[in-house]
Structure 1
Amino acid sequence: MKTDILAFGAHPDDVELGCGGTIAKLISEGKTCVIVDLTKGELGTRGTDQTRKEEATEAAKILGVAARENLGLKDGFLVNSEEYQMEIVKMIRKYRPEIILANAIDDRHPDHAKAAKLVSDACFLAGLRKIETVLNDQVQEVWRPKQVFHYIQWKHIQPEFVIDISEHLDKKLEACMAFKTQFYDPTSKEPETPITSKDFYESLTYRAQDLGRLSGVTYAEGFTSEKLIALKNFDGIVW
């Protein structure tokens, strides 16, 4: 299955929070996108791995992604090991994306930065012909994405570019709130966490609004790039 964008998240909901608006926009433009969650988020204070699975399925439907998979790696204990790298290599070779979206390069949750490096290294390894992988009894062809971009999460990181999501913020918020056990719910009896507050929910809008203010659009999502980006021309730049 050839896809345009493969988005990785350390936990179910990372992708929605970090780049849900961008995914919604790209899909509306005819691009194909697949989400791969590295863990089940089983250590989360609220909910269970089963409720997270159900919520992730609903969020994927809202965004309109072509597929969503979960690798079942160990939540809270991601390591940049050969075992974990090879699982990600298999996904890259399976979906053959042009662009990879991955976790923030530095963040509050230690899994996020670990996932960023893990996915980055796997992208390189996926292009090495002497590394053989087998999926569903088939030897996979090598594949290396053209670009690896990292979305921004809890911490403020200066973006190297932003995507205008002005027409897609509502869908991003809807996809995020599909994870109803995880975010703001004044009726919930479960313990409070930094992401369950009303302020955190509102920050999804005002952070996108601030990036929009700085870039001349209404709402935007920011990214960092692993390599220098070259433009063929000035088409696509918001003036």
Structure 2
Amino acid sequence: MKLHILAFGVHPDDVELGCSGTLLAAIEEGKKVGIVDLTRGELGTRGTAETRKQEAARAAEILGVQVRENLGMADGFFQNDETNLRKVITAIRKYKPDIILANAVEDRHPDHGRSAKLVADAAFLCGLRKIETSVDGVAQEPWKPSYVFHYIQDRFIAPSFVVDITKHFDKKMESVLAYTTQFYNPDATNDEPQTYISSNQFLETVKARALMLGKRIGVSYAEGYLSEKTIGVNSFDAFIQQIT
């Protein structure tokens, strides 16, 4: 399956928090979009690997992505090594995305930065024909994505560019709230311990970040990205904002 955009998250819910509004906007434009989670989030204080799998499936349904899969790396302990690079290379060659979205390059959770480097390295290596990978015994062809962009997560990073998600913000938050074990839910009846992300205040910071980034381009809500590659345009029309 050829995808236009493939979004990687080291934990289920990273993509929803960081770039799901952008994915919704792309899907509305007719683009094919997929999600790959690196780990099952099994070290999370709340929930289990199985409940997070169910929540990820529900979030994928809300977003309307073409595919979602999990590479089963070790939460908290995965390394940027050959074994994991080959897993990501295989996924990229499988879906042939033009654009990859990946975790923040530096963040509160150490897994985020390691994931960012792992995915970026794999995106480069998957274009090398002498690296051989296969799926179900069938050799894969090399593939080189055009761009790797890193979404902003907990810590603020000045973005290279931002994407207007105003039309899609409510559905973005609906996908986040699909993770009922992880985030604030006044109707939940569980006695699990409170965490950094389980309070209503955390969800308010997600909204505040989107408001702040949107304000920078004169829209209500936006998501921000970091690009290590210079972005070019072939027309000044690319800069025109349709503000309503």
Shorter-chain TM-score above 0.5: yes
Q: Secondary structure of 1:235's partner? A: helix
Runs (4+) of structure 1 exceeding 6 A deviation are none
What TM-score do you get using the length of structure 2 for normalisation? Answer: 0.96
CA–CA distance in 1 between the matches of 2:15 and 2:228?
18
Residue in 2 that maps onto 1:2: 2
- Show the 5 A alignment for 1:202-213: 202-213=204-215
Cα distance in structure 2, aligned partners of 1:189 and 1:107: 29
- Deviation string 1:113-147 (CA, Å, 9 cap, x unpaired) is 00000000000110001111011110000001000
Residues 1-239 of structure 1 aligned to structure 2 (within 5 Å) = 1-186=1-186, 187=188, 188-239=190-241
Task: State the Cα distance separating 1:204 from its structure 2 match.
Answer: 1.6
Amino acid of the residue matched to residue 215 of structure 1?
Answer: I
Q: Letter of the aligned partner of 2:81 in structure 1?
A: S
Alpha-carbon separation, structure 2, partners of 1:32 and 1:203: 29
- Per the TM alignment, residue 175 of structure 1 is displaced from its structure 2 partner at its CA by 0.3
How many angstroms apart in 1 are the aligned matches of 2:236 and 2:138? 43
Q: Using the alignment, how far apart are the partners of 1:212 and 1:237 within structure 2?
A: 15
Identity %: 58
Under a length normalisation based on structure 1, what TM-score does the superposition of the two structures give?
Answer: 0.98
Amino acid at match of 1:191: P
Aligned to 1:222, what secondary structure does the other structure show?
A: strand
Q: CA RMSD in A?
A: 0.8
CA contact (8 A) 1:107 1:154 kept: yes
- Counterpart of 1:203 in structure 2: which amino acid? T
Structure 2: state its 5+ residue gaps.
none
Cα shift at 1:81:
0.2
CA contact (8 A) 1:105 1:112 kept: yes
Distance 1:182 1:146, change over 3 A: same
SS in 2 for 1:17: helix
Q: Distance in 2 between matches of 1:235 and 1:90?
A: 36
Partners of 1:235 and 1:214 in 2: CA distance: 18
Q: What SS does structure 2 have at the residue aligned with 1:132?
A: coil
